[in-house]
Structure 1
Amino acid sequence: MKTLLLKKEEVSKLICMRETIDAVREAYKAFSSGKVVQPDYIGIDLPDPRGEIDFKAGYYKANEIISMKTSSGGFVDNPAHGLPSGMGNILLFDAMSCALICAMDGSLITGLRTGAAGAVSVQVLARKNAKKITTIGTGNQARMQIRAINEVMKIEEIHAWSRNPATLSRYKEDIEREFGIPVVLANSNKEAVEQADILITTTRGQGPLVDADWIKPGTHIVAIGTDQQGKQELDPEIFRNAKIVNDSIEQCVTKGETWHPLNKNIITRNDIHGEIGEILLNQKPGRENDTEITIFDSTGMAIQDNTTAFKIYSNAIENSIGTSFEFF
């Protein structure tokens, strides 16, 4: 049986953001429909100055594909050796035989599907009249969030804050050049947050960067950065009176932003509204009024990689892209 190899530049030509958003919506609905087998992911923190590596695996009964993704980040010394600071790889297996059918670069997929996750949450949890986005953090994922959300709503203005002035300045230049959306550079995180209709946090924070008192009624929060214990971006008090939506409750209560208010007894597990897949399946309501504060805690799931990578693989087969090889 032949295995298809897809390099990064090939992967980039085989899927667009709109297709990724559709794949992530499918993933969330599948997960909340019981069509997914997804063991707990493994995360390994390596000694400084190295970063972390995660392993996420999942089986989707509808497409009969098993996926395995490795994703690393925070390797700050890598560029000096000609390597990116973060890398990813995805393997796809035919679940009928467990034969490896595809090996592809996964670094782009992680960014795309995480950005798409924010866009899906905006569709069901943000106010329909939301116009202003604030990004706390201005790295690659902050850009991906804008690329994805721009597909599902009209963004009129972006407010941004970062600890790094140089990164903040580049973010403004990049976003305004790519989208023509004005970016306002905030003097403080408080100043940026107070402007938000939609607040996106995409940092590697290890303490709260957003205070509860700064959040105005009706804000939708997309919490991206916390996917392991030890990370934190939000004041746990924000959760006390918010509608809390998780990608996976089991992951978010142990590794996500939701863990912090649970650990401090600010909320109980019963205060979690549900999973985003349940909202997409119309099993639970999304936003119900223009004043409630909504939080989407996204820890990232293997099923997102599965549906996105399978779409890439299907497009590659259809367009005869990639290199085939045989192990046996």
Structure 2
Amino acid sequence: MYQVLTDHDIEKLVSMKSIVNAIKRTFVEQANGTLVAPPRFRLETKQGDLVFTAGAATAMEKVIGFRVYDTYANDVDGHQQLVCVFDSDTGVFKGIVIGNLLGAVRTGAIGGVAIKAMARKDAEHVAVIGTGIQARTQLEAAVAVREIKQVRVFGRNQENREAFAAQMMKKLDLEVVAVDSSKSCVQGADIVICATNSGTPVFDAEWLEPGVHINTVGPKSIKRHEVPMELGARSSVIATDSIEQLKAYPTPHFLVGTPDEERVIQLRDVVTGKIPGRKGQDDITLFCSVGLAGTEVVVANEIMKKVSCRE
């Protein structure tokens, strides 16, 4: 019997630690050649597009499926993402997840894997720039993989950043402080999470402390990017979840065509120990999240397993 889940179910059932572990296993599958993860593709019309990300993890996870979402620029009710999951051994349909939360949870968990692999083990202070759902799930994942003691958050809207601080302090049971500038947010941070919609850099690379790790999940093209261009040159290690996707954007990624492009490594190689995530305590490290196909299906399957265990 197949399952039909919604954002309400995801909110109740998600354990970020278990999702991070599932994503880590997926990177191991990628390294072992058992993850099929082609770049996303679009069904384009004049009114808007449908964007598909398909993938399969056939060894440990044994799932195959796809996610689809739209890019229609209107406020009509009913815009939803769909994630369909099938058994990769038998082709049997396992279920569908309807809603936008799973994608954010998936991206947050990938960020958590990056932090676990690349941030200093003694990292305690997190800076979050952005106050939306992506910022929330990235922070949840950071707390799942490191012993975080304090969080500072900055967003352009005072009401939003104060609400973020109050909600996340209650949810995570740790100190979350809203600050009034991005400079005061990132200075002294061990981990910086950028999850904004900004097309211009939201901080200056000179504000960063030695040894900091940065996750960037927002705009990333040469025309619109939330982190400064010089961050690539300042970073000792640069990783991404999919070099294929990083190089496949219609508008090039901000690192493509720069001397730093050739230094970008696959996060899977850090996760499996092939390449170190940092060479020293003072290294600045950068993770550019672009989205690894198949991970949405793995996350959906992980949550469906929780439902099955409860029945």
Q: Pairwise mapping of residues 21-100 of structure 1 onto structure 2 (< 5 A)?
A: 21-42=20-41, 54-62=51-59, 63-72=61-70, 77-78=75-76, 81=77, 87-100=80-93
Give secondary structure in 2 for the equivalent of 1:104.
strand
Equivalence for 2:154: 161
Matched-pair contact (CA < 8 Å) for 1:204–1:231? no
Deviations along 1:116-149, whole A, 9 cap, x unmatched? 1222112121112222111111111211122221
Equivalence for 1:309: 300
Letter in 1 for 2:105: L
Letter in 2 for 1:291: D
Matched-pair contact (CA < 8 Å) for 1:205–1:232? yes
Scaled by the length of structure 2, the TM-score of the pair is 0.88
Equivalence for 2:281: 290
C-alpha distance in 2 between matches for 1:181 and 1:6: 30
C-alpha distance in 1 between matches for 2:72 and 2:207: 29
Q: Pairwise mapping of residues 177-256 of structure 1 onto structure 2 (< 5 A)?
A: 177-226=170-219, 231-242=224-235, 243-255=237-249
Change (3 A) 1:182 1:305: same
Change (3 A) 1:249 1:127: same
Letter in 2 for 1:188: S
Q: Which runs of structure 1 show a deviation greater than 6 angstroms over 4 or more consecutive aligned residues?
A: 44-47, 73-76
Paired-residue identity, %: 26
Contiguous gaps of at least 5 residues in structure 2: none
C-alpha distance in 2 between matches for 1:129 and 1:153: 8
C-alpha distance in 2 between matches for 1:32 and 1:256: 26
Give secondary structure in 1 for the equivalent of 2:230.
helix
Return the offset for 1:26: 0.9
Is 1:17 aligned with 2:22?
A: no
C-alpha distance in 2 between matches for 1:45 and 1:195: 45
Scaled by the length of structure 1, the TM-score of the pair is 0.84
Deviations along 1:261-307, whole A, 9 cap, x unmatched? 333x24242x22x2111111111112221111000111122222122
Give secondary structure in 2 for the equivalent of 1:310.
helix
Deviations along 1:18-77, whole A, 9 cap, x unmatched? 110111101112112211112210357999xx9975321002221442111124579673
Letter in 1 for 2:245: Q
Give secondary structure in 2 for the equivalent of 1:124.
helix
C-alpha distance in 2 between matches for 1:190 and 1:55: 37
Contiguous gaps of at least 5 residues in structure 1: 321-328
Return the offset for 1:246: 0.9
